[in-house]
Amino acid sequence: MAIAALLLAAAVGLRTGNMPDFGVLEDYAQYLLFAFWIGGCAFALGSFFHLAQDIVWSGYIGATPGSLGISAFPSMHVAMAVLFALYATRRSRLAGLLMWAFAAIIMVGSVVLGWHYAVDGYASVLISIAIWKACGYFLGKFAPEGVAA
């Protein structure tokens, strides 16, 4: 899509006599090469993580002998959902209620589906709220004039 936009811009430039800056196109070509390289790395990492996920899941359902428990302390999914809820609560009461419900669903789901222990979610909630409060405190104390805390 981006290449089509560049070609269209070049065609319009030729038609109107306003040629595009080819230095920008060179930069864009380098950007595209870098993006393709990043995409290839992401694909390779995605394949690795998919394999790792399969191994952990097979351990969880008992298909692989040994202990391959699934847990991460604290749960980053719950932490992000709580941060979204904290922000939404500051913006709107309705948005806050919806996001707190979302955070609760994420927390319950992570435990019910076996990806986390309940304590992982509880800790995420407490740590997220503590970080939120600390950031508010430090912004209020050290932020330049006019920056909202």
Two structure tokens written together for 6: 């560049």
* Mean predicted confidence (pLDDT) in 109-115: 83
Q: Under DSSP, is residue 127 helix (H, G, I), strand (E, B) or coil?
A: helix
* Mean predicted confidence (pLDDT) in 66-92: 84
Dihedral sign, Cα of residue 139, residue 141, residue 144, residue 148 = positive
Confidence of residue 41 (pLDDT cuts 50, 70, 90): low
What percentage of the chain has pLDDT greater than the value 70?
54
Cβ pair 66, 52 in contact under 8 A? no
Mean of all residue pLDDT scores within the chain: 74
Task: Name the one residue in this structure whose structure tokens are 């993580």.
Answer: 49
Q: Under DSSP, is residue 130 helix (H, G, I), strand (E, B) or coil?
A: helix
Q: What per-residue confidence (pLDDT) applies to 68?
A: 59
Q: What per-residue confidence (pLDDT) applies to 16?
A: 46
Q: What per-residue confidence (pLDDT) applies to 139?
A: 83
Q: What per-residue confidence (pLDDT) applies to 143?
A: 75
11-15, 20-24, 131-135: which is most confident: 131-135
Two structure tokens written together for 7: 């070609």
Cβ pair 2, 35 in contact under 8 A? no
Confidence of residue 117 (pLDDT cuts 50, 70, 90): confident
Is the pTM higher than 0.75? no
